[in-house]
């Protein structure tokens, strides 16, 4: 952590130039004594990434930023705030604290937070920023969180851990056992220090794999922002033997789309099928990731178009956690039928369909955009169809 970056002149430059062309800054001679242009650019790039993702940090003067990779890997404010709804009690230890976003929001809910970060420089940055943000109840430990836990006699109400999805060779990994630290290997240690654990994992982790690697899983939370799944949160409770609850949430600009179900419900539910009716529904990405393909239709009393299409239909419009459309026309997937529509511009989605969106656009000369929505899919008779829709 280069404290020269906190000098008034440097801070004023960052405040006034965070949105500038960083390459032009990088190529200039050093503007400030004790601060390289590379360091200056790192501050500019990281601050810019915080504008939407971390507005509390972006708007606060004198914040020290790590490199932009740390900003890319950290939780957003909206997902960090959601985590606070999952924990309770007085004490929490964050074993992989990083830039400290999750710990900051946990500190607003709980009495005492311990922030462990193996990177000493990043730990210093987090501690400094907590002072600037006026946080008094976070203790920063520049140490491997697991080592600290093993050597400490304290018992915590919660343990939070976000294992790195890269191994020692900096290659991306997808099994929890291949992440750093190895959570499955250390579960006994973790449960000796807390009865409740929250693990943040990549959205790419398959539920079945995670359930095999972990034990005492109580809940899995699928968290999406603007219909993009950002993270999975695994809640483990010591000795829990109950059915796993899946909770999905999609934060849109105007609302929170929430849907929950028991994992075994999906296996036990039978879908009802129908030809397209008046309205079409496409579940949000969190629901699709959760695998609630049958239970979501059953819950909202909708008919499904096809076992593998994951599109739903109804006679009357309902409030649905995803996109809703009015079906204007249903046509077979034939070149002549499409030509008759004379559509040159449309939003295209494919579900359980052999061609890609790019291939369809090229084949039928349809540009992207406009108010028309075309769904290329398969119906319950295994026929390829096109649904011409308008968004509700």
Which pLDDT score is estimated for 174?
72
Distance, CA of 376 to CA of 330 (rounded, Å): 10
Per-residue pLDDT of the chain (392 residues; tens, 9 = 90+): 999 999 999 999 999 999 999 999 998 998 999 999 999 999 999 999 999 999 999 999 999 999 888 899 899 999 999 999 999 999 999 999 999 999 999 999 999 999 999 999 999 999 999 999 999 999 999 999 999 999 999 999 999 999 987 655 556 667 898 888 999 999 999 999 999 999 999 999 999 999 999 999 999 999 999 999 999 999 999 999 999 999 999 999 999 999 999 999 999 999 999 999 999 999 999 999 999 999 999 999 999 999 999 999 999 999 999 999 999 999 999 999 999 999 999 999 999 999 999 999 999 999 999 999 999 999 999 999 999 999 99
Give the strands of the sheet with 367-378, arranged side by side: 303-304, 312-314, 279-283, 322-332, 384-391, 367-378, 345-351
Q: Which residue has the tokens 């052999």?
A: 354
Q: Which pLDDT value is given to residue 57?
A: 97
Q: 277-311: buried (b, 16+ CB within 10 Å) or exposed (e) per residue?
A: bebbbbbbbbbbbbbbbbbbbbebebbbbbeebbb
Give the Cα-Cα-Cα angle 3, 6, 7 (nearest 5 degrees).
105
Supply φ then ψ for residue 340, to 5 degrees: -60, -30
Lookup result for tokens 């406009």: 370
Report how far apart, in Å, the C-alpha atoms of 64 and of each of 11, 108, 124, 353 are: 9, 21, 10, 49
Do residues 10 and 35 lie in contact, with contact meaning Cβ atoms separated by under 8 Å?
yes
3-state secondary structure at position 368 = strand
What is the torsion angle, in degrees rounded to the nearest 10, for the CA atoms of residue 142, residue 144, residue 150 and residue 155?
60
Q: What is the DSSP string of 203-234?
A: TTS-HHHHHHH-SSEEEEEEEEETTEEEEEEE
User: Residue 169 has what pLDDT?
Assistant: 58
Q: What angle do CA 157, 161, 165 make, to 5 degrees?
A: 170
Say how many residues make up the chain: 392
Q: Are 83 and 20 in contact (CB under 8 A)?
A: no
DSSP state of 133: T
Q: What is the DSSP letter of 143?
A: S
Q: Which pLDDT score is estimated for 83?
A: 98
Asked if residue 22 lies in contact with residue 142, where contact means CB atoms within 8 angstroms, the answer is: no
Q: Are 167 and 147 in contact (CB under 8 A)?
A: no
Give the pLDDT of residue 171: 61
Q: What was the pLDDT predicted at 68?
A: 86
Q: By three-state DSSP, how is residue 254 classified? A: coil
- Which DSSP letter does residue 311 get? -
Half-sphere exposure of 190 (CA within 13 A, CB side): 28
């Amino acid at each position: 952590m280069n404290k020269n970056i906190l000098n008034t002149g440097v801070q004023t430059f960052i405040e006034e130039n965070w949105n500038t062309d960083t390459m032009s800054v990088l190529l200039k001679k050093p503007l400030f004594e004790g601060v390289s242009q590379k360091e200056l650019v790192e501050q500019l790039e990281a601050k810019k990434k915080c504008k939407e993702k971390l507005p509390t940090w972006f708007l606060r003067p004198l914040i020290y930023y790590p490199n932009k990779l740390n900003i890319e890997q950290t939780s957003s404010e909206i997902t960090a705030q959601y985590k606070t709804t999952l924990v309770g009690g007085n004490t929490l230890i964050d074993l992989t604290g990083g830039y400290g976003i999750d710990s900051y929001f946990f500190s607003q809910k709980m009495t005492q937070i311990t922030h462990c970060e193996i990177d000493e420089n990043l730990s210093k940055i987090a501690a400094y920023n907590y002072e600037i943000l006026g946080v008094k109840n976070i203790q920063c430990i520049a140490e491997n969180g697991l080592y600290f836990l093993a050597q400490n006699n304290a018992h915590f109400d919660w343990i939070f851990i976000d294992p790195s999805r890269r191994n020692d060779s900096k290659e991306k990994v997808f099994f929890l056992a291949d992440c750093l630290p190895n959570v499955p290997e250390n579960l006994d240690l973790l449960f000796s220090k807390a009865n409740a654990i929250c693990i943040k994992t990549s959205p790419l982790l398959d539920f079945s794999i995670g359930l095999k690697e972990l034990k005492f899983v109580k809940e899995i939370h699928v968290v999406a922002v603007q219909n993009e799944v950002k993270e999975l949160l695994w809640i483990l409770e010591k000795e829990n033997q109950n059915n796993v609850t899946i909770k999905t949430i999609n934060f849109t600009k105007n609302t929170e789309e929430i849907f929950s179900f028991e994992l075994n419900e999906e296996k036990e539910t039978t879908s009802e099928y129908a030809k397209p009716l008046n309205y079409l529904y496409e579940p949000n990405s969190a629901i699709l990731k959760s695998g609630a393909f049958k239970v979501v239709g059953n819950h909202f009393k909708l008919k499904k178009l096809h076992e593998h299409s994951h599109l739903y239909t109804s006679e009357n419009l309902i409030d649905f956690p995803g996109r809703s459309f009015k079906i204007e026309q249903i046509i077979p997937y034939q070149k002549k039928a499409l030509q008759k529509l004379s559509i040159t511009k449309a939003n295209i989605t494919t579900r359980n369909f052999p061609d890609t969106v790019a291939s369809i656009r090229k084949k039928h000369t349809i540009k992207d955009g406009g108010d028309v929505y075309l769904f290329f899919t398969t119906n319950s008779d295994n026929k390829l169809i096109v649904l011409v829709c308008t968004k509700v």
